[in-house]
Amino acid sequence: MAEAGGAVKKTDTEGRIWLGLLAVLALLAVIPGAIGNAFHAHVLVLILLYASMAQSWNILGGYCGQISFGHSVFFGIGAYGAGMAMVRYGSAPWLGVLAGALAASAVSVLISWPCFKLRGHYFAIATFAVVEIFGRLFLVWDWIGGALGLDYPIMDDSWTHFLWSSDKTGYYTGAVALFALVFGVVRSIEGRRLGYYMRAVREGQETAESLGVNSTHVKLTAMALSAFMAALCGAFFAQYNYRVDPPMVVSLDMSMKFVLITILGGMGTFWGPLLGAAVLIPLQEYTRTYLASLGAGVDQVIYGLLIIFMMVRQPRGIMGFLAEFGILGGRSDSAGKEAGDASP
């Protein structure tokens, strides 16, 4: 009985998460009509963008357990892919987006090959250095515009160029598509062999190897996927801002966003990145707007306090809190079940 019940329960969880994703997408489809205010629409676009960024980081950092502070590099490569296509070649961004994402994957594999020989904190520290190196490189590289960056020419609003100056509807639809793509891919990986192998490597690399898992291969695959997704987000970011320059994209600040949103939401959980972004981004945008009179950096202070509170109270993030109250499954379903079992 336990067996049969378990099997059913398992498939239910699987199906429920897909349904949840569909529900979120349906909700996103009706929201714009309800708001209308351009600033709220802007915040919504940013939530979706940062949720996708955090989810792409979550592939490597959350599921596979390899903490990277280097994701702004891949984000930057993606942004420059789109930017170069638009500014240097005067064409639509799409080929540039693809080239940028592939380049980001290639670069990520090249730099993490040696870095994955380092374990635990040393891998994380090595990725800090990578951001510095690429930040400098982008600044002095004239072909891609050096420190001045790339300013987009004025163009007609269109899907071909993925540019809109009059309203946010196009960007919003694009952000929903990006979100659906990244979250859909992660959900699909989660239930497959790769997803299991990534979590096994996180929980115990040597154990995984003893079961026939080539951990280096798994980590590199996770890295390549993660970088590809981060680059797509970067391309969107460039299109959204009408420009790209090095400090905008390749910086420790930007890298930290990938990490902190995921930690706040819950590392290694499917919904964590969305929840983290849904809390942090409005906080950042609204405090920046409404508390500006208190001086610059108020949003940063609140941001920091929130992270400290989280680390002390519930290191598993918002998803951990929800699991505590038995609302949603936590990391890899198990935490939630445990909490669920405990509550009457």
16 binds another protein (CB under 8 A): no
Strand partners, 90: none
Q: What are the Cα distances from residue 236, in Å, to 78, 168, 175, 179?
A: 8, 13, 8, 11
Residues 246-285 as x/- pattern, contact with another protein by CB under 8 A? ----------------------x-----------------
Strand partners, 243: 151
Contacts 24+ apart (CB under 8 A), 205-209: 205/119
| Selected binder of another protein within 2, 27, 140, 296 (CB under 8 A) | 2
DSSP labels for 241-255? HTEE-HHHHSSHHHH
15 binds another protein (CB under 8 A): no
Q: Are 202 and 74 a contacting pair, CB within 8 Å?
A: no
Nearer to another protein by C-beta: 14 or 151?
A: 14
* Min separation Cβ 206 and another protein, Å: 7
Give SS3 for 150.
Answer: strand
Q: Are 230 and 70 a contacting pair, CB within 8 Å?
A: no
Stretch that binds another protein, among 44-52, 73-81, 188-196, 285-293 (CB under 8 A): 188-196
Distance of CA 29 to the CA centre of its chain: 21
| Selected binder of another protein within 6, 153, 184, 315 (CB under 8 A) | 6
> How many Cβ atoms from other residues are within 10 Å of residue 122's Cβ?
11
* Min separation Cβ 334 and another protein, Å: 4
Binding residues for another protein, total number by CB under 8 A:
34
* Min separation Cβ 200 and another protein, Å: 4
| Side chain identity, residue 127 | T
343 binds another protein (CB under 8 A): no
Binding site for another protein (CB under 8 A): 2-3, 6-7, 9-10, 191-193, 196-197, 199-200, 202-204, 206-215, 268, 331-335, 337-338
